[in-house]
Amino acid sequence: PRPMAQLNAALSSTAAKRAEIKPGKCVVHWFKRDLRLHDNRALALASNMAHKAGIPLVCMFFVSPQDYEAHVVSPRKVDFELRSLAIVKADLEELGIPLYTTTIEDRTLVPKHVMEKAKAWGAKHVTCNIEYEVDELRRETKLVQSCLKEGIDFNALHDDAVVPPGALKSGSGSQYAVYTPWYKSWAKHLAAHPHLLAASDPPAPNPAEAKEIFREIFALPLPEAPLNKILAKDEKERMASLYPAGEHEAVARLERFVEERISKYKDTRDLPALHNTSILSIHFSAGTLSARAAVRLAQASSPKFKTDLTAGPQGPTVWISEVAWRDFYKHVLCHWPYVCMSKAFKPSTSLIKWDYNPKLFAAWREGRTGFPFVDAAMRQLAHTGWMHNRARMVVASFLAKDLLLDWRLGERYFMLQLVDGDFGSNNGGWGFSASVGVDPQPYFRIFNPLLQSEKFDADGSYIRKWVPELAGVEGKAIHDPYGRGAGAKAKKAGYPPPCVVHKEMREKALQRYKDVLKAN
Ligand code: FAD
């Protein structure tokens, strides 16, 4: 059975027994990647239970260095999460709710800690939101059972995806492996189940005595980032100014986007120089914003959405369909959990012969391939920890199909750099671009980096911003300085010539994909 099915089974088979458990001295909510007070399903449930029973709510959060390693969480993302955690702590304190935080070096001890703390505080109910990666699903499944043995109700709720994974089935009853029919079914499901888009209430204030009972927890300092995740001072400052943390900032950004830019989204979303996308991925991946809240606000922008999320004005309709991609990849994770284990969704593609060329990999990482659009994108990533979606697709395709390097190298490098790193979306994006994933780009559609550059950065302003060596190159030569008469200028400025010949590499890539597909 799949880990998601095991968790569902553990929850449903114990539901009756768990429902009999009487309130203890407090209710516990375990924060993970849901760092917000508003519209947080499990937190709302914990708060309601506590309020009804007239007992305090206590929250917990663990820094787990081994988890960061296992999931290749970038130092930038850890930093963003810890900055957001500080805001959660302050907001909880205003409500008299304590947040217990600590670092647990050995990730296998996290469940034991959850249970021991609940026992020590006399809690009989513990809630959390479900994370859809394999290890987490297995951990939560065990917790349901081991907590019950101690007379504790451990409940894990769907919250991160707008439509819970497993809820959508194709006509033949199987999981969709193609986005478009899945998306139609997603929109239909939401029209039929509008409660999935409803907001949950933020927690109610704790009874006054909680301040005294949990004095020691209130006094705890926030945990530090693990040693290998600490950012240099200048980078920390840059990240803080680029990406202010926490849910208040997330909601303000969402509101600004819906008010000012969403109507132009369809026409401008592919142009990386324009900054016209929402840049909310950072908030979604830390859980400082729920995808539900985002869809709800976009939906409110037009009455046409009332009954059908695909039927509104083009800007918000397309944006909602992009947020749905995030859900799609979470559904994929749950149904085909082997993608969490460095395995391609399409198993046959594991046989593609990749080159091992550390020099080319370094040129790609450093933005020194001699393909200006690719280099601009890679430098944007290195400097800001974020990259525009069109650019992500181009550099990913370039790594696999122009450099013939294993896409998993790129997948991992992205996770090490991204402030919005999200396993499902990153794995899905790499699978799409390298034609090894679910609903992928057909293998024979190989992006021509020059044409992509001309189409999506026509005036070269994205390139000029991120590749300052080429700032003085005028006109169309910016897309290909060595091929269009600006080679001397580029060379003098220290910009390298192209590291490969696209046409030749394209042929090689086609052959390698064909070899494998023919053999299977
Ligand atoms: P907007 O255009 O404003 O879209 C709104 C939201 O929709 C995004 O915040 C995101 O949550 C979701 N979304 C949009 N496009 C996609 C998509 N193609 N797949 C999944 N969700 C999408 N996104 C991540 O959040 N984390 C990643 O680690 C990640 N890695 C990627 C790697 C590759 C190779 C590719 C091609 C895409 C990757 N994406 C990833 C998806 C996408 O590039 C980003 O979500 C998007 O660029 C974030 O910018 P935004 O918030 O301004 O997006």
At 370-392, the pLDDT tens digits run 999 999 999 999 999 999 999 99
402 is in an annotated binding site: no
- Cα–ligand 1 centroid distance for 332 (angstroms): 16
What residues contact 336, with CB distance under 8 A and at least 6 apart? 175, 345, 438
- Cα–ligand 1 centroid distance for 420 (angstroms): 8
N- to C-terminal Cα separation, the chain: 27
Strand, helix or coil for residue 29: strand
326 is in an annotated binding site: yes
What are the C-alpha distances in Å from 414 to residues 102, 169, 271? 28, 31, 21
pLDDT in tens, 457-473: 999 999 999 999 999 99
> pLDDT at position 120, please?
97
pLDDT in tens, 54-80: 999 999 999 999 999 999 999 999 999
Known catalytic residue at 20: no
> pLDDT at position 169, please?
94
Known catalytic residue at 430: yes
The size of the chain, in residues, is: 520
Q: Which of 186, 325, 386, 466 is catalytic?
A: 325
pLDDT in tens, 329-367: 999 999 999 998 888 898 889 999 999 999 999 999 999
Residue 344 main-chain phi, psi, to 5 deg: -70, 145
Residue to substitute in 270, 281, 422 for testing ligand 1 pocket (most ligand atoms within 8 angstroms of CB): 281
Q: Which of 30, 121, 186, 430 is catalytic?
A: 430
**Ligand 1 atom nearest to CA at 291:** 11
What is the model's pTM? Answer: 0.97
- Cα–ligand 1 centroid distance for 488 (angstroms): 37
Residue to substitute in 322, 364, 386, 423 for testing ligand 1 pocket (most ligand atoms within 8 angstroms of CB): 322
**Ligand 1 atom nearest to CA at 393:** 36
323 is in an annotated binding site: yes
DSSP state of 1: -
Q: ipTM value, please give it.
A: 0.99
**Ligand 1 atom nearest to CA at 329:** 20
Three-class secondary structure assignment of 38-89: CCCHHHHHHHHHHHHHCCCEEEEEEECHHHHHHCCCCHHHHHHHHHHHHHHH
Q: Which of 322, 357, 448, 454 is catalytic?
A: 322
* Stretch 154-177: mean pLDDT: 95
Upper half-sphere CA count for residue 289 (Cβ side, 13 Å): 24
pLDDT in tens, 400-457: 999 999 999 999 999 999 999 999 999 999 999 999 999 999 999 999 999 999 999 9
Say whether pLDDT at 519 is over 80.
Answer: no
Q: Could you tell me if the CB of 449 is within 6 A of ligand 1?
A: no
pLDDT in tens, 94-139: 999 999 999 999 999 999 999 999 999 999 999 999 999 999 999 9
Known catalytic residue at 325: yes
Residue-wise DSSP of 335-398: HSGGGGGT--SSGGGGG---B--HHHHHHHHHT-SS-HHHHHHHHHHHHHS---HHHHHHHHHI
Calculated CA dihedral for residues 253, 258, 261, 265, nearest 10 degrees: 110
243 is in an annotated binding site: no
> pLDDT at position 13, please?
98
Q: Could you tell me if the CB of 298 is within 6 A of ligand 1?
A: no
CA distance linking residue 11 with residue 77, whole number of Å = 31
